[in-house]
Amino acid sequence: MKSDTIASMAAMILGAGILILAAGLFFLLTPDSDKILCDGQQMRPGDRCISTESYRSGTYDELVARRRDGEATDARWSPRIVAVGGVLTAVGAVGWIARFVILTGERPARPEPRDSDWWAGKGDIS
């Protein structure tokens, strides 16, 4: 029973690690477009965007500054997210392997070599 609990915890940690790792890689590797858009139309210097959502409203220069701040935040946090996801993935994988090898003494079943398997020292290699 204890090994089943460990296996399920390891599977959850492994799954969370893979999801966090994927999200971090997505943010790290996905470049933002250089275009500043307002309602789907490209803005130019001197333009002003008016929206019901305050984070989308502002002048072209304000929106450019917000984008730069957002990119700086992504640049700081994306590698950290990738690292956390990698650690969780590794811990989950080690826990999953430990459930089979260390705690239960069980190993995944290996197929028995056939008579013609020359690498097993049986049969003729000619």
pLDDT higher at 39 or 33: 39
pLDDT higher at 117 or 42: 42
pLDDT digits over 49-101, tens only? 887 676 678 888 888 888 887 777 777 788 888 999 999 999 998 888 877 77
CA 6 – CA 16 distance, rounded (Å): 15
pTM for the model = 0.56
Q: How confident is the model at residue 26 (pLDDT cuts 50, 70, 90)?
A: confident
